[in-house]
Amino acid sequence: MAVVAATGLTGCYVEEHRVGYYRPYGYTYSYYYYPDVQVYYYPSQRVYYWRDGSRWRSGRYVPRDITLRSHVMIDLDTREPWRRHDEIIRRYPRDWREDRDRDRDGRPDRS
């Protein structure tokens, strides 16, 4: 009975959590994206995705030669972020800074 009650509470929390997010294609996956090194981090699974030459790699840690600095939160409609990489690099080029992506009121631009 306690398992059912806990599951019910968790389900309610998830529904509340979804209300505040922009969901362009239905269910989305939230990532940290590091524009300067073009790395994605999927926090719910604790997995990084990075490019190694022409291939994408994933793992719990990025290679030592990659330094993670500032990031932006992005929502994608896929668990394979490299499938949307062309779109993401147009919006967040390597020299992107958070202050460039804000509207006049100082809020993040969600367009």
Token pair for 105 = 């009121």
Residue 91 to residues 25, 74, 95, 100, Cα–Cα distance (Å): 18, 11, 11, 11
Q: What is the pLDDT of residue 40?
A: 97
- Percent of the residues in the chain that have a pLDDT greater than 90, as a whole number: 51
Q: What is the pLDDT of residue 28?
A: 82
User: Is the pLDDT score of 52 beyond 70?
Assistant: yes
Q: What is the pLDDT of residue 95?
A: 83
Residues sharing a CB contact under 8 Å with residue 32, sequence separation 6 or more, in sequence order: 40, 41, 43, 71, 72, 73, 74
d(CA 51, CA 56) in angstroms, rounded, equals 4
Token pair for 1 = 């009975």
pTM over 0.75? The answer is no
Outline where DSSP puts E strands in the chain.
Answer: 29-34, 39-42, 47-52, 55-59, 72-76
Where do the structural domains in the chain lie, given as residue ranges? 25-99
Closest C-alpha among 34, 42, 48, 53 to residue 96: 34
d(CA 80, CA 32) in angstroms, rounded, equals 13
